[in-house]
Amino acid sequence: MEFHIALTGASPNPGVVQDALFDVDPTAVVDLDMSGLVLRVSASATAADLVEVLRQLGWPVAPEQVVQLPSICCGGCGG
């Protein structure tokens, strides 16, 4: 799943978030969009998992800040 989180002030480094997500999904990828205002997360996780990991990092985000994007899977790999 891909998630976008609207940034409202200071936020953890994307690398720190990616490391923290390792236990949920070791293949998770985290970065900032080009504007620097949206944290993008690609992970096999739920929005609730993501909110919990971010809160554990000391970055409380409201569930409404986390937007799950529709899947772009073409199904070609059978997944």
Q: Write out the residue range of the structural domain in which residue 13 sits.
A: 2-68
Instruction: State the CATH number of the domain containing residue 18.
Output: 3.30.70.100
What's the chain's average pLDDT?
A: 88
Kindly state whether residue 15 falls inside one of the protein's structural domains: yes
Buried b (16+ CB within 10 A) or exposed e, 2-33: ebbbebeeebbeeeebbebbeeebeebebeee
pLDDT at 71: 76
CA 10/CA 28 separation, integer angstroms? 22
What distance in Å separates the CA atoms of residue 25 and residue 2, rounded to the nearest whole number? 13
Q: How many domains, the chain?
A: 1
Domain assignment of residue 29, yes or no = yes
**pTM, full prediction:** 0.85
The whole-number average pLDDT for the span 44-57 is 93
What is d(CA 15, CA 29) in angstroms, rounded to the nearest whole number?
A: 9
